[in-house]
Amino acid sequence: MTEVITVLKDWFKIRKGLKGSLGFVPTMGALHKGHKSLFEKSVEENEFTVASVFVNPTQFNNPNDLQKYPKTFEQDLEMLNEINVDFLIFPEYETLYPDNYVYKVTETDYSTILEGEHRHGHFDGVLTVVMKLLNIVNADKAYFGEKDFQQYKLIEGMTKAFFMKTEIISCPTIREEDGLAFSSRNVRLTEAKRKQAPLFFKLLKSNKTPEQIINELTENGFKVDYITDVNKRRYGAVYLGNVRLIDNVEL
């Protein structure tokens, strides 16, 4: 049975008593098969696993996106119980941001391109909350999905830059049968847009140039933020209706 923890003092007391390796999976909830693969890897590799669910407002550059983010706590807890995740940290904003986000972590290079170029301040919010959570949880390993590959690399770089003890583990993107990467945003796609969505991944992994991919996506009703090749990996971000999807593939 997953133990739900809302008070940090309770967690610190539990953490002191844990003997054995601890894995950590931070999430914003609305859990799906992609998250499930992270929990399963942590449970497999560690004596204990802790998850967190916190919809982090500081990483949303669009207030409407924050308001629409799905909240499915009961279903999330059911999944954690099924996978034998030991603990769930479920904090309030005031708990994680007693300073009201006066202090923040900023990366000044890789975070300025791709998602950072199109979502100003996004990675400041991501890195800040992840540093807080890593310091709170004090895990041996933390698990992140490769769907958000830029995020994973930035978090990995942050832990090395600040000599943090937690090892950052990347896990492969989990996809639907038609290739669409699992995402909490997928549930917001209309039936028609959901049928269109797999074209995004199909074109990303094709031999076409970014320019050709952009043109074909645009012709098929997508609004393209970017299709860009960086360090032998192709990244993309698109809108279908008002739902923004991101993905990446190794070249």
Does residue 24 lie within any of the structural domains?
A: yes
User: Which pLDDT score is estimated for 130?
Assistant: 98
| 95 shares its domain with 134 | yes
How many whole angstroms separate alpha carbon 31 and alpha carbon 23?
A: 17
- 56: nearest Cα among 89, 30, 92, 87: 92
| 237 shares its domain with 156 | no
| 160 shares its domain with 234 | no
N residues, the chain: 251
Q: What pTM was computed for the model?
A: 0.97
For 22-31, the pLDDT digits (tens) are 999 999 999 9
User: Which pLDDT score is estimated for 40?
Assistant: 98
Domain endpoint, select from 142, 171, 200: 171
Domain endpoint, select from 121, 141, 171: 171
Which range marks the domain in which residue 200 is found? 184-246
User: Which pLDDT score is estimated for 184?
Assistant: 94
User: Which pLDDT score is estimated for 236?
Assistant: 98
Burial grade of 180 (CB within 10 A; 0-12, 13-18, 19 or more): buried
Taking CA atoms, 248 is separated from 17, 143, 149, 154, in Å, by: 40, 18, 7, 15
User: Which pLDDT score is estimated for 128?
Assistant: 98
| 188 shares its domain with 159 | no
35 catalytic? Reply is yes
Name the domain count of the chain.
Answer: 2
Does residue 251 lie within any of the structural domains?
A: no
Does residue 73 lie within any of the structural domains?
A: yes
| 71 shares its domain with 49 | yes
Enter the tokens of residue 183: 């995402």
User: Which pLDDT score is estimated for 172?
Assistant: 98
Within 8 A by CB and 6+ apart from 66, the residues are 55, 57, 60
| 163 shares its domain with 188 | no
Domain containing residue 41: CATH number = 3.40.50.620
Q: Which residues, given as ranges, of the chain have pLDDT below 50?
A: none
| 167 shares its domain with 190 | no
| 159 shares its domain with 57 | yes
Among candidate residues 32, 35, 118, 120, the one labeled active-site is: 35
